């Protein structure tokens, strides 16, 4: 698995996301609280716009999700599943923190 450095841990405020480009892929990286990080595709499948990193982070039951700022669909940050329309799910990517940097490895790549 190849990890790509995205940014410093301190570049992402708790409970927000940032957009990054890894190769040709638009990725949204989220910081949940102070210690947890998640990454999913940034492109909203319904609109085709690269905006998921700007969505509101929260919980639906036990799931940590982001709500798309356009159509308000909720995406599980662990799995990428779209809760309202599973056929519009996005990929979830591996994230790790090393030496104060956030790194992402693309799913399937």
What CA–CA distance (Å, rounded) separates 68 from 42? 10
Confidence (pLDDT) at 108: 80
Sign of the CA dihedral with 77 first, then 78, 84, and 90 last: positive
Yes or no: domain 4-105 corresponds to CATH 1.10.150.20: no
Structure confidence at residue 1 (pLDDT): 85
Average pLDDT along the chain, 109 residues, taken 10 residues at a time: 95 97 96 96 96 96 96 96 97 97 90
Rounded to the nearest 10°, the torsion over CA 19, 24, 93, 88 is 90
Q: What is the per-residue pLDDT for 49?
A: 97
Sorted by where each begins, the domain ranges of the chain are: 4-105
Taking each continuous run of H as one helix and of E as one strand, the counts in the chain are 0, 9
User: Which of 22, 13, 56, 58 is CA-nearest to residue 41?
Assistant: 22
Is the distance from CB of 57 to CB of 15 less than 8 angstroms? yes
């Amino acid at each position: 698995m190849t990890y790509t450095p995205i940014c410093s841990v301190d570049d992402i405020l708790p409970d927000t996301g940032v957009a990054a480009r890894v190769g040709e892929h638009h990725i949204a990286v989220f910081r949940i609280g102070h210690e947890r990080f998640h990454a999913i595709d940034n492109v909203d499948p319904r609109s085709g716009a690269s905006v998921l990193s700007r969505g509101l982070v929260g919980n639906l039951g036990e799931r940590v999700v982001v709500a798309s700022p356009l159509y308000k669909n909720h995406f599980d940050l662990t799995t990428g599943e779209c809760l309202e329309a599973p056929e519009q799910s996005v990929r979830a990517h591996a994230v790790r923190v090393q030496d104060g940097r956030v790194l992402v490895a693309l799913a399937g790549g």
